[in-house]
A and B are shown apart, each in its own frame.
Chain A
């Protein structure tokens, strides 16, 4: 479980997050929604230690994550799939996966087989450079690279960005299945609010760095004001 209390993150004089508090429960998908500049990516970067908060706490269970180095946070079991996927194009699919498995104490061969079973296209392209994969395949690779380390928390930043609707639907189904079949805690940052709300258990809506809604996904999805003013979902 990830517990965030009173989190404030600044870029110079600009506050990207202001007194944000939220809980991402174990085994559940928490969607973080909002328009561009709402602070969604900054929230994930603060959890991963890529951005030092000005104030507030971020806890994983009882462990405080603030002031820890990114690599130490990753080794605690937090997998972060960054915006733009972050696969290493010069590496082959298998090298990307090997890198993901390296820091976690997992059996590499077993881990590779599991990921190839989950994402068969990666198995077919294991020797291909990641730069040559399509957008959807890269997203799968980025997720597989995070999952091979068996994280307890998965942070996904705009996984549907630039993907065709069909691929996005498949991806959301995969995320949902992963969560159903394990105790994986997922924090899903998305601009595609309708797709995210379809699979999320809980939703947090950010607007210019502040939390404007924090409730069950079904409640947020049904709130006409939120849909219209913050999520851009007009019937």
Chain B
């Protein structure tokens, strides 16, 4: 077997890719909400976390992993929809700081309520796939059945979101509502419903990310499970450009790979410093984000 596949570089790239898709998914969910409603959702990690707790509560009733995943997605749809209707709708058109403050407050409330109901002790989520890395010619390879499941699921979600926006009538209406709400209404598009749907979709993307992260044998589910990933997802979205779904995903994946190399070759404590340095430099060069046209709204 080619020793290149088990080399340090390939191991770092594949390990970084695994983390990077999570960052990319969080960044994508942030971009979905920003593009459709102009709100920077700081509770984008906490809302899916709460939905995942609700869904996996079914484990206590002897439901299997996949049934719990479906329950998580349903809970995510409800939480996303209700949040938009009850909490966010009144904030549209208000100064941008208003929704930020409200969503930071919502993040704190959700984490506190989750800790009060389910405790802060990591809750083990039974993974459907083994986390033991494959061996190639007696040497450990960077991938395991679980990481393949993680990457494949993330790619599937990204492809589904891209197809939704690119090829469906619903996607066309979602894009139109985000880009030109008044014109969309003049054409008969029910913009209010689509805004709710945008939040529901975005929360579901977050829920799938949370499930993948929490199903990892080494992580488990805690009220703060998404805090760190949200931070990197936010950095990725800012680097890629909050207007660009593709940019957010690419920036997330690249950030994951860079983090892995920094961890391996420098120091784990340097990871956040390097990530923030990349963010600052990229914003100095391209304030609107690397993949966003400069004429669009600035990050």
A interface, CB within 8 angstroms of B: 48, 50, 69-71, 74-75, 79-80, 82, 86-88, 90-91, 95, 98-100, 102-104, 145, 149
Q: Are A82 and B172 in contact (CB under 8 A)?
A: no
> Chain B's nearest CB lies how many Å from the CB of A142?
9
Roughly how many angstroms separate A86 CA and B185 CA in the complex, as a whole number?
12
Roughly how many angstroms separate A164 CA and B179 CA in the complex, as a whole number?
28
Q: Are B187 and A99 in contact (CB under 8 A)?
A: yes
**B22-30, B188-196, B274-282 - the one binding chain A:** B188-196
Knowing A50-B182, A88-B180, the reply to whether A145 touches B187 (Cβ < 8 A) is yes
Q: Are A149 and B180 in contact (CB under 8 A)?
A: no
Roughly how many angstroms separate A62 CA and B175 CA in the complex, as a whole number?
35
Residues of B within 8 A of A103 (CB): 187-189
Roughly how many angstroms separate A50 CA and B185 CA in the complex, as a whole number?
9
Residue in B172, B184, B185, B187 whose beta carbon sits within 8 Å of that of A95 in the complex: B172
Roughly how many angstroms separate A87 CA and B183 CA in the complex, as a whole number?
8
- Complex: chain B residue closest to A95, CB-CB: B172
Residues of B within 8 A of A80 (CB): 186
Dominant SS among interface residues on chain B: helix
Q: Are A86 and B186 in contact (CB under 8 A)?
A: yes
Knowing A71-B185, A71-B190, A74-B187, the reply to whether A99 touches B173 (Cβ < 8 A) is yes
Dominant SS among interface residues on chain A: mixed
Residues of B within 8 A of A98 (CB): 169, 172
- Complex: chain B residue closest to A89, CB-CB: B179
B interface, CB within 8 angstroms of A: 169, 172-173, 175-176, 179-180, 182-191
- Complex: chain A residue closest to B170, CB-CB: A102
Knowing A88-B179, A88-B180, the reply to whether A102 touches B187 (Cβ < 8 A) is yes
- Complex: chain A residue closest to B243, CB-CB: A90
Roughly how many angstroms separate A206 CA and B199 CA in the complex, as a whole number?
44
Q: A50-B182, A102-B187 are in contact. List 10 more A-B contacts (CB 8 A).
A: A82-B182, A88-B176, A91-B176, A95-B172, A98-B172, A99-B172, A99-B184, A99-B187, A102-B169, A149-B187
How many pairs of A and B residues are in contact by the CB < 8 Å rule? 60
Roughly how many angstroms separate A182 CA and B189 CA in the complex, as a whole number?
26
Roughly how many angstroms separate A90 CA and B174 CA in the complex, as a whole number?
13
Residues of B within 8 A of A102 (CB): 169, 172-173, 187-189
> Chain B's nearest CB lies how many Å from the CB of A126?
15
- Complex: chain B residue closest to A155, CB-CB: B186
Residues of B within 8 A of A82 (CB): 182-183, 186
Residue in A74, A91, A104 whose beta carbon sits within 8 Å of that of B185 in the complex: A74
Roughly how many angstroms separate A48 CA and B182 CA in the complex, as a whole number?
11
Knowing A102-B169, A102-B173, the reply to whether A88 touches B188 (Cβ < 8 A) is no
Q: Are A71 and B188 in contact (CB under 8 A)?
A: yes
Residues of A within 8 A of B189 (CB): 71, 99, 102-103
Residues of A within 8 A of B183 (CB): 82, 86-88
Residue in B173, B182, B188 whose beta carbon sits within 8 Å of that of A149 in the complex: B188
Q: Are A71 and B169 in contact (CB under 8 A)?
A: no
Q: Which of B172, B175, B188 has the most CB of A within 10 A?
A: B188
